């Protein structure tokens, strides 16, 4: 069935360094790819998204890239700060079943 | 209040209890969702409601019973649950069903003893 693979499962970086999280998806007809940040005790919060008609989108220190041919997309966080520490989830909107399918999450730790 | 709210935030129940989770969205959205979040697993979609009609049921056991009395409120009624049902239950809403941005509530941490 449709699925989204997310790597790595945990990521530790030094404050100020960059962090990259990668996801691959199975449904080539997928057209919408959001990223969520979940802090302890809170629900996932949408931080950035990208649609299939663009290859890259940037919002201050975060950016997302999409390679439709390879069916993968990535989240890039530059100049990481301790408050970036959280669990990050990618998702893909699957045309098959018409639903969002989520990756398993990446625990990001930013060490100060 | 703004966004998506959920009550209670924490719930401990025995296997023979009946309880309900409540979700309310203040965003004027037409679609609402229930997800189950277990440790080290992807979010699992349970139910989807669009304009108060259920449009998706992802093979969820009948011990979970959703109710959507209007487009702003969503309930999840729980009955004779199992310990493996312990998880974080998340409610979300979006402007339209199964497309576009979904906004999540803080979740209800459920423990079944």
Per-residue pLDDT of chain B (113 residues; tens, 9 = 90+): 579 999 999 999 999 889 999 999 999 999 999 999 998 788 999 999 988 888 877 789 999 999 999 999 999 999 999 999 999 999 999 998 766 789 999 999 999 99
Share of chain A above pLDDT 90, in %: 79
Nearest alpha-carbon partner for A108 in A1, A22, A48, A3: A22
| A69 shares contact with chain B (CB less than 8 Å) | no
User: What's the Rg (C-alpha) of chain A?
Assistant: 13
Question: Is B104 close to A103, i.e. CB distance below 8 A?
Answer: no
> Of the candidates B45, B48, B100, which has its C-beta nearest A32's C-beta?
B100
User: So what's the pLDDT on residue B56?
Assistant: 76
Between CA A63 and CA A47 the distance in angstroms is: 10
User: So what's the pLDDT on residue B113?
Assistant: 93
User: So what's the pLDDT on residue B6?
Assistant: 97
- Span A40-57, mean pLDDT? 92
Determine contact, residues A110/A87, Cβ cutoff 8 Å: no
């Amino acid at each position: 069935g449709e699925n989204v693979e997310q790597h790595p499962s945990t990521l530790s970086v030094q404050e100020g360094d960059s962090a990259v999280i990668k996801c691959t998806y199975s449904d080539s007809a997928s057209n919408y790819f959001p990223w969520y940040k979940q802090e302890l005790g809170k629900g996932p919060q949408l931080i950035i998204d990208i649609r299939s008609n663009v290859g890259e989108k940037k919002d201050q220190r975060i950016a997302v890239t999409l390679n439709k041919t390879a069916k993968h997309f990535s989240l890039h966080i530059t100049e990481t700060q301790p408050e970036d520490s959280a669990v990050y989830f990618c998702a893909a909107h699957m045309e098959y079943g018409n639903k969002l399918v989520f990756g398993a999450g990446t625990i990001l730790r930013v060490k100060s | 209040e703004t966004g998506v709210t959920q009550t209670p935030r924490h719930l401990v129940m025995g296997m023979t209890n009946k309880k309900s989770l409540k979700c309310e969205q203040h965003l004027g959205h037409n679609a609402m969702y229930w997800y189950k979040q277990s440790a080290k697993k992807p979010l699992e979609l349970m139910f989807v409601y669009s304009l108060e009609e259920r449009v998706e049921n992802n093979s969820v056991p009948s011990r979970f019973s959703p109710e959507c009395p209007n487009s702003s409120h969503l309930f999840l009624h729980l009955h004779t649950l199992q310990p493996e049902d312990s998880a974080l239950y998340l409610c979300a809403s979006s402007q339209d069903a199964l497309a576009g941005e979904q906004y999540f509530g803080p979740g209800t941490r459920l423990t079944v003893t």
